[in-house]
Structure 1
Amino acid sequence: MLRSLDIRDMLIIDRLSLAFQPGLNVLTGETGAGKSILLDSLGFVLGWRGRAELVRAGADKGEVTAVFDLPPGHAARAVLDEAGIEAEDELILRRVNFADGRKTAWVNDRRVSGEVLRGLSDRLVELHGQHDDRGLLNPRGHRQMLDTFAGLDLSACRRAWTALGTARRTLLAAEEALAAVRAEEDFLRHAVAELDKLDPQPGEEALLDTRRREMQGAEKIRDDIARAHRALSAEGAETLLVDALRWLETASDRAGNRLEAPLAALSRALLELGEAQDGVEACLADLDFDPRDLEALEERLFAIRALARKHSVLPDELGTFAEELRGRLAALDGGTKQIDALRRALAEAEAAWEAEAAILSEARRGAAGRLDAAMAAELAPLKMERAVFETQVTEADPGPEGRDAVAFTVATNPGAPAGPLNRIASGGELSRFLLALKVCLTGDSPGLTLIFDEIDRGVGGATADAVGRRLKALAEGAQVLVVTHSPQVAALGAHHWRVEKRVAHGMTTSTVSPLGAGDRIEEIARMLAGDTITDAAREAARALLD
């Protein structure tokens, strides 16, 4: 419930503090007195988008504070919890509009965004303004109204629609990928066959290049090594050393021990010479190759390098590249199975969404009948007992909220054809249809403060009295604020405020005053008679109040 509204320096309001009560609260006053400014100010603190310039002329800033009672379990507590604000029994909203256009808002002294304010607003206040019946004329909003009346939970259908969209996109992407792979199938199979035939190994290109250089340089050094081998063999140094050793051994008996050291040295030299011969022979063996081997080595080396250039990769990356191509071929070979699996998943997603959409369709058709019955009950007290309100549910394009289109139609007289509201109902009838529909839609929304801005326009007499009585009934156990020019509606209010415009010292300001019993008689008499209040008007006002 809205408990108080404090306004400072907003448009033509200087300072204004209002304390509202449960039940039916009515605000009356001359046209242009400032009733709409009160609603603009309330809308400002609730984050509604409205006038751009709200700061009173000459003021640095305008400020509005609204205080709401917040009982346990109120829907606004969830918004506070999501915003990280501790909920209390009292909710204080404050918003400042600076002269340069900047806006700052607080909730229970916590700085918040306009989005948080609007989230709270949806759960605190519902405004039905002078042109709010445009919502009734727009069929795009009718389904949401019916869903609200039915209390439908659309989350399951929305999730199913999201899953269906994901399944469609996944299948499409897989089909496109498969088509792309099929377009290069010949290239892939040829490239993989070529790579498999060559079978390049990591590091092989460097080894082949080193071996090739060795083989190319072998002929240049082989002759010198061969000559050295002959010099060390039996044709050269070996024979001489063996002869020298034999001669010295023959003379050693006559030379005493003087030849022992030379003989030992020669023995060691023969051993070293043998090792040298083995090493030179091994080198000669390594350098001994068939020219055809060099040709084969070069062919393989050049083939590896050519294949690497062809695919724009390094020679050592050819193996990894081949694995990648094999993977793409495997995707191609298994693509049909994958597509079949994705198509089955899509069919399952479609079936799941169809099931959820069917549940919603059935619930909407059932709710449409209940809404029509509820509207018939609401229209009778509003002097429209012969009008027929019908909620039509037809099939529409599928979407996240099902496949239903909802349209509200009316027939204002028996036998008259039904049609859209804007073509069938007059202005006064539209207002009453709006009131009846809002009563039906908000009957199960506890904690809302309902605001009706001239909902009674275009009606008078007994019809205005019926509208007032319906508003009064709606306010039982709730809080309803009504801006009205109808004396019949004003007389039924539990609390009455008069909005006046005053000019003092060249400045125009708007004030709001609570009315006691005597003041109410004068105000309602003014609403009945105009500027000149007669005794007859006062008597009529007393009769209305009685």
Structure 2
Amino acid sequence: MLRALDIRDLLIIDRLELSFQPGLNVLTGETGAGKSILLDSLGFVLGWRGRADLVRQGAKQGEVVAEFDLPQGHPAFGVLQEAGLPAGDELILRRVNTAEGRKTAWVNDRRCSGDVLRQLSETLLELHGQHDDRGLLDPRGHRAMLDAFAGHGAMLQAVRQAWRVRAEARKAVERTRAALDAVRAEEDFLRHAVAELDKLDPRPGEDAELDARRRRMQGAEKIRDDVSRALQLLGGQSAEGALSEAMSWLEGASDQADRMLDDPMAALGRALIELGEAQDGVSRCLDALDFNPLELEETEERLFAIRAMARKHDVLADDLGAHADVLRGRLAALDAGDADLDRLQADLAQAEAAYGEAAGGLSASRSAAAGRLDQAVMAELAPLKMERAVFATQVSETDPGPEGRDQVAFSVATNPGAPSGPLNKIASGGELSRFLLALKVCLRGDDTNRTLIFDEIDRGVGGATADAVGRRLAELAQGGQVLVVTHSPQVAARGGHHWRVQKAVTDGVTLSSVVPLDAQDRIDEIARMVAGDTITDEARAAARALLTG
């Protein structure tokens, strides 16, 4: 509910503080007194796009503050939470416009964007008038209005869920088909590559092993003769023979040398042992250096084959085995892909059937609800002196989506036999106002969270019709809040709270103000609306009759 509106230095308002109440709030006044300025100011603080030259002449900036009461569970809490703004049972919006045109906004003393204000405004207010393209006259919102009238919340949720499942199933089919098409395009390459890799069968570390063996065999030819000559010198008549012969001579002389040869002989024994070990090592090395030239050729061929395969697939030689596994996996996916695709297509068909069933049920319910809405609106049109008009809710098929596959449009025919068409193209100003009011009465339901504002919706009607409009507005205001800008005394008399907008010239400056009216002031104001500038006793009597009626 809108609790207060504080306006400073906007257009012809220097300072204006208004406190609104629950129920039907009525604003009246002479034409040009500034009633539209109040709506411009309210639209400004709510982020609506409007006129740019709002700042009062001579002022540095204009400012509007709007205060709202938020009951528990109000949809504005969701907007505040998503925007990271503080929330409580009181919502304060403030927006400033400098003379240079720079706009700044705050929500509960926290800076915010105009977009956040507009999102909040959709939960706080509804504005209806003859040029209302934000609400009932916008065909894009007619389906949502019909769903709200019919209470389709649970059915809509089911359709949205079925649409999500359908969309996910469709994406899964498309992804799988695209992957299969990509694999099929390279199937011949994959099978040839896997066959090559399987035939080569490279092992991790084999490249380094083959390279070391090749280097060893290449170097063997250069050192084998030297090693062989060294082995000859270590054995036979060379080093071993000389040491053995020396040992024999020393053993013969040892008895007569008074044991002086014991240590030298022990050293020679150790030398013979070490020499034998050296001979064995050199001999083993010589055996290792003994290779078949064909083995070198085979080693080089395999080494070069592994390295060529690694270059071909742009991987390291040690990663060839893992790369082969990857290629085998892609082939396996191709071989199993058709089965997967068949399964996913079956899932898609099931999801489409489920969506079709949910959307079909919603369509049937919408068609039935359209008839009930038509009857409800027609029942409201009769007291508004439009009993000959025809209102129709047209439900037609459109492209499927998360809200179903129906398009909803409200059409009217103002007289029997006349062609029907959209509200804003068929109805005149007064007729349009009454159609909008009848629709709003039928669509209001239990939604009292938003303040309804009607801007001269009673224009072009009078007498009993205006009285019927006033009664409908009063009904709408029960349990909620309705603000009405009106020139009709019948409508003004139905208000629970009444303000008069007036304009005065002070020191050559025109300023607008809003005055709350007490019981006597209301009589005079409604009498003025009945009689004009000259208020007569008869006009006051008529005003009293309207107020007590």
Output the TM-score relative to the length of structure 1.
Answer: 0.91
- Tell me, yes or no, if the aligned pair for 2:395 and 2:406 is still in contact at 8 Å: yes
Give the aligned partner of residue 93 of structure 1.
Answer: 93
| Separation of aligned partners in 1, 2:145 and 2:354 | 25
- Between stretches 112-121 and 179-188, larger displacement belongs to 112-121
Q: Any gaps of 5 or more consecutive residues in structure 2?
A: none
Secondary structure at the counterpart of residue 396 of structure 1: strand
| Separation of aligned partners in 1, 2:532 and 2:294 | 123
Give the aligned partner of residue 222 of structure 2.
Answer: 220
Secondary structure at the counterpart of residue 51 of structure 1: coil
Give the aligned partner of residue 52 of structure 1.
Answer: 52
| Separation of aligned partners in 2, 1:287 and 1:541 | 128
| Separation of aligned partners in 2, 1:275 and 1:75 | 96
| Separation of aligned partners in 1, 2:427 and 2:248 | 143
Secondary structure at the counterpart of residue 179 of structure 2: helix
In the TM superposition, what is the alpha-carbon distance from 1:137 to its structure 2 partner? 4.8
- Tell me, yes or no, if the aligned pair for 1:381 and 1:470 is still in contact at 8 Å: no
Task: Give yes or no for the alignment of 1:304 onto 2:306.
Answer: yes
Alpha carbons of structure 1 residues 5 and 421: separation in structure 2 relative to 1, 3 Å: closer
Identity %: 72
| Separation of aligned partners in 2, 1:249 and 1:69 | 124
Give the aligned partner of residue 139 of structure 2.
Answer: 139
In the TM superposition, what is the alpha-carbon distance from 1:180 to its structure 2 partner? 0.7
In the TM superposition, what is the alpha-carbon distance from 1:404 to its structure 2 partner? 0.9
In the TM superposition, what is the alpha-carbon distance from 1:133 to its structure 2 partner? 6.2
In the TM superposition, what is the alpha-carbon distance from 1:544 to its structure 2 partner? 4.2
Q: Work out the number of aligned pairs and report it.
A: 545
Give the aligned partner of residue 484 of structure 2.
Answer: 482
Give the aligned partner of residue 471 of structure 1.
Answer: 473
- Out of 183, 193, 210, the residue aligned to residue 181 of structure 1 is 183
- Tell me, yes or no, if the aligned pair for 2:448 and 2:481 is still in contact at 8 Å: no
Q: Any gaps of 5 or more consecutive residues in structure 1?
A: none
Match for 1:22: what amino acid?
A: P
- Tell me, yes or no, if the aligned pair for 1:26 and 1:481 is still in contact at 8 Å: yes
- Out of 346, 349, 352, the residue aligned to residue 347 of structure 1 is 349
In the TM superposition, what is the alpha-carbon distance from 1:278 to its structure 2 partner? 0.9
- Out of 266, 269, 273, the residue aligned to residue 267 of structure 1 is 269
Give the aligned partner of residue 251 of structure 2.
Answer: 249
In the TM superposition, what is the alpha-carbon distance from 1:289 to its structure 2 partner? 0.7
Note the alpha carbon deviations across 1:456-493, whole angstroms, 9 max, x for none.
12323332232223223333443321111223323333
- Tell me, yes or no, if the aligned pair for 2:410 and 2:423 is still in contact at 8 Å: yes
Give the aligned partner of residue 408 of structure 2.
Answer: 406
Alpha carbons of structure 1 residues 109 and 280: separation in structure 2 relative to 1, 3 Å: closer
Note the alpha carbon deviations across 1:296-324, whole angstroms, 9 max, x for none.
11111111111112122222222222222
- Out of 371, 376, 379, the residue aligned to residue 377 of structure 1 is 379
In the TM superposition, what is the alpha-carbon distance from 1:533 to its structure 2 partner? 5.5
Give the aligned partner of residue 21 of structure 1.
Answer: 21
In the TM superposition, what is the alpha-carbon distance from 1:41 to its structure 2 partner? 1.3
| Separation of aligned partners in 2, 1:52 and 1:155 | 41
Pairwise mapping of residues 276-291 of structure 1 onto structure 2 (< 5 A)?
276-291=278-293
Secondary structure at the counterpart of residue 391 of structure 2: strand
Note the alpha carbon deviations across 1:396-438, whole angstroms, 9 max, x for none.
2100100111122333334555444345433322211111001
- Between stretches 518-527 and 291-300, larger displacement belongs to 518-527
Alpha carbons of structure 1 residues 23 and 111: separation in structure 2 relative to 1, 3 Å: same
Secondary structure at the counterpart of residue 52 of structure 1: coil
- Tell me, yes or no, if the aligned pair for 1:133 and 1:434 is still in contact at 8 Å: no
Give the aligned partner of residue 441 of structure 1.
Answer: 443
In the TM superposition, what is the alpha-carbon distance from 1:196 to its structure 2 partner? 1.5
| Separation of aligned partners in 2, 1:258 and 1:514 | 141
- Out of 236, 239, 249, the residue aligned to residue 237 of structure 1 is 239
Give the aligned partner of residue 162 of structure 1.
Answer: 164
Give the aligned partner of residue 456 of structure 1.
Answer: 458
- Tell me, yes or no, if the aligned pair for 2:127 and 2:135 is still in contact at 8 Å: no
In the TM superposition, what is the alpha-carbon distance from 1:284 to its structure 2 partner? 0.8
In the TM superposition, what is the alpha-carbon distance from 1:35 to its structure 2 partner? 0.7
Match for 1:9: what amino acid?
A: D
Note the alpha carbon deviations across 1:146-196, whole angstroms, 9 max, x for none.
112223223332233223222212211111111111111111111111111
| Separation of aligned partners in 2, 1:92 and 1:99 | 23
- Between stretches 179-188 and 482-491, larger displacement belongs to 482-491
Note the alpha carbon deviations across 1:51-80, whole angstroms, 9 max, x for none.
333222222222222333444555545555
Pairwise mapping of residues 107-146 of structure 1 onto structure 2 (< 5 A)?
107-132=107-132, 136-146=136-146
Alpha carbons of structure 1 residues 534 and 278: separation in structure 2 relative to 1, 3 Å: same
Task: Give yes or no for the alignment of 1:336 onto 2:338.
Answer: yes
Alpha carbons of structure 1 residues 209 and 473: separation in structure 2 relative to 1, 3 Å: closer
In the TM superposition, what is the alpha-carbon distance from 1:256 to its structure 2 partner? 4.7
In the TM superposition, what is the alpha-carbon distance from 1:105 to its structure 2 partner? 3.7
Q: CA RMSD in A?
A: 2.7
| Separation of aligned partners in 2, 1:71 and 1:180 | 57
| Separation of aligned partners in 2, 1:161 and 1:523 | 57
Give the aligned partner of residue 321 of structure 1.
Answer: 323
| Separation of aligned partners in 2, 1:261 and 1:271 | 15
Output the TM-score relative to the length of structure 2.
Answer: 0.91
Match for 2:262: what amino acid?
A: E
In the TM superposition, what is the alpha-carbon distance from 1:205 to its structure 2 partner? 1.6
Alpha carbons of structure 1 residues 70 and 308: separation in structure 2 relative to 1, 3 Å: closer
